[in-house]
Copies of this chain bind each other. A is one copy, B any other.
Amino acid sequence: MRDTISLALNVFADFMPDLLPDQHRADYVFLANISPDLQRHVLDQVASPKVVAADTMNHWIANDRAALVRLLPRIDILTLNDEEARMLSGEHNLVKAGHAIIKMGPDTVLVKRGEYGVLQFSKDAMFAVPAYPLEEVIDPTGAGDTFAGAFMGYIARKGVINESVLRTAVVYGCVMGSFVVEQFSVNRIASLTWEDIELRYRAFIELTDSHHSRWTSQ
């Protein structure tokens, strides 16, 4: 597996993404999971981004840590999974890990826990959501990237970051992630309507409604 990853990386060793002119003026930048030096190379081309998010993984934390650590102060929002949060921070406890990573640069850290949901850490608040429990999961491929796309899309639509926007963005990320795993490839996403999305968003809010504003009237 390690050999396969190394091979794949060597194949792309000359990959050096150059943005199109329009993209130099992007307000919202999501640096998907690739070498931290390439993430920096992309970010350097954006004149004045309002929000920068980045994804990373165990491979870069283990093998390109210095470049990743240099990048972190330029990142507003970092996404990674629980094991990666532990690796990056050196803290086994996730609460300590989240706060340690915030000290490395990002204002917000999203710890993705697959079927168990997402933990969001910021300096003054924690937010925890479960994944939407599905009756059938066909293929989990792409759930993380779909989450990130919906999350960034919501933030871009609001045009501002605060705790409320971040929380709603996480929920829309979970909602869209819950759709993509219901079929192979992008088939489920391609057939979605806005109504499908809003219905599941509302179902998600009911699922997690622990102070039961809806239920108290019963």
Show the binding face of A for B, using Cβ within 8 Å. Answer: 93-96, 113, 116-117, 119, 125-130, 133-137, 162-164, 167-168, 170-171, 204-213, 215-216, 218
Distance in angstroms between the alpha carbons of A25 and B209 in the assembled complex: 35
Number of copies: 2
Q: Which residues of B contact A94 (CB under 8 A)?
A: 133
In the complex, the answer to whether A95 meets B130 with C-beta atoms within 8 Å is: no
Given A117-B130, A167-B209, A210-B167: A218 in contact with B93 (beta carbons within 8 A): no
In the complex, the answer to whether A167 meets B113 with C-beta atoms within 8 Å is: no
In the complex, the answer to whether B213 meets A213 with C-beta atoms within 8 Å is: yes
Q: How far is the CB of A124 from chain B (nearest CB, A)?
A: 11
In the complex, the answer to whether B205 meets A211 with C-beta atoms within 8 Å is: yes
Closest partner residue, chain B, to A202 (CB atom): B211
Q: Which residues of B contact A117 (CB under 8 A)?
A: 116, 128, 130
Q: How far is the CB of A203 from chain B (nearest CB, A)?
A: 9
Q: Which residues of B contact A216 (CB under 8 A)?
A: 164
Distance in angstroms between the alpha carbons of A119 and B108 in the assembled complex: 27
Closest partner residue, chain B, to A217 (CB atom): B164
Distance in angstroms between the alpha carbons of A27 and B55 in the assembled complex: 53
In the complex, the answer to whether A129 meets B210 with C-beta atoms within 8 Å is: yes
In the complex, the answer to whether A164 meets B218 with C-beta atoms within 8 Å is: yes
A sample of 18 inter-chain contacts (CB < 8 A) reads A93-B136, A95-B133, A95-B135, A119-B133, A125-B206, A126-B207, A127-B210, A128-B207, A128-B208, A129-B130, A129-B208, A162-B218, A163-B218, A164-B218, A170-B210, A205-B211, A208-B210, A209-B210
